[in-house]
Amino acid sequence: MRRFWQIFIGALFGMLCLTSAGLADASEITSVRTNRAPPIPNVLGLWTAVKHDAIYWHRDTTSEHTGRFSLEFESQNGPLVEGVVHWDNDPEKGPGHDGASETHRAYQPMIGTLGYDGETLHLVQHPDGGYLSGRFLNTDTLEIIYAEDGPHAVVGRFILIRQNALRGQ
């Protein structure tokens, strides 16, 4: 039954991402078929949430005022990426879960891919079951939706800025 819900939530999450991103028009499909796809953006580096809202299975919530969230992209091979999800919640709030135990801080491996449109990004945590999907607002800003099902469910939304952009470099 748990596997059914994982597949169901994953499919639902994918449909929501397609709906929010909009469906490709004929010119976008043609450009992919003729190898004129948009360039693949470089995502390497540390991206830090400057705005976020999340709710956890125990119904506590976090925001940019009560927690930190970042994505660190360590390698990129074309559209394929690897890295780490970092998060740190206020000890006054309920804990998160890192796939093994309840905790207020975690560093979780992730893998993912950039969409053919050059604007969307889809990531999964492993061995934990978190899904992250989003879009580039510009070269240094990402909008991400995070969802994880099961007994330690969490869902959140994040605006992340590439770290060197925060420093004005």
Tally of structural domains, the chain: 1
Do β-strands 61-63 and 154-162 pair in parallel, antiparallel, or remain unpaired? Answer: unpaired
Q: What is the mean pLDDT of residues 60-87?
A: 93
pLDDT band for 21, please (50, 70, 90 cuts): low
Distances (CA, A) of 7 to 42, 100, 130: 30, 21, 12
Collect all residues with Cβ–Cβ distance below 8 Å to 128 and sequence separation of at least 6.
97, 98, 99, 108, 148
Any idea what DSSP says for residue 85? Answer: E
Q: Which tokens go with 125?
A: 């945590």
Q: What is the mean pLDDT of residues 101-117?
A: 87
User: What pLDDT is recorded for position 33?
Assistant: 55
Q: Is the predicted pLDDT of residue 90 greater than 80, yes or no?
A: no
**Domain of 16, in residue numbers:** 2-166
pTM above 0.85, yes or no: no
Q: Which tokens go with 7?
A: 């597949």
User: What pLDDT is recorded for position 89?
Assistant: 80
50: domain CATH number is 2.40.128.120
Collect all residues with Cβ–Cβ distance below 8 Å to 20 and sequence separation of at least 6.
145
